[in-house]
Amino acid sequence: QLQASGGGLVQAGGSLRLSCAASGSIFSIDSMGWYRQAPGEQRELAATTTSGGTTNYADSVKGRFTISRDSAKNTVCLQMNSLKPEDTAVYYCNAHLRDRSFPQLVISSWGQGTLVTVSS
């Protein structure tokens, strides 16, 4: 189970920090990340990070967003700076994890989504 928090309304140029915590019978987490879906658009990657520390960012957020992960706590955060109106979207936390009951299987788990609104 993934629980996300931290969305809200901010003016252009402002900052927000999203947090997501994974809980349950977790054996390990291969990667965690954030995806976003703007109104009328498809869900797209914002940023991801692997257990080895490799990060990946959408071109549109590079230099403005920073993803960080606490593997001991199974949490991932997304620091969003210099926000733009086009960053307005529902942000979804995602984790590719392995359950203790069947660690050979990688499960893609999604959080409930948190709305980020950037006003101009």
CA distance 32 to 106: 12
For 18-57, the pLDDT digits (tens) are 999 999 999 999 999 999 999 999 999 999 999 999 999 9
| Alpha carbon separation from 43 to 24, 38, 77, 79 (Å, rounded) | 25, 7, 19, 19
pLDDT given for residue 108 in this prediction: 96
Bridge partners, 109 (sequence order): 95
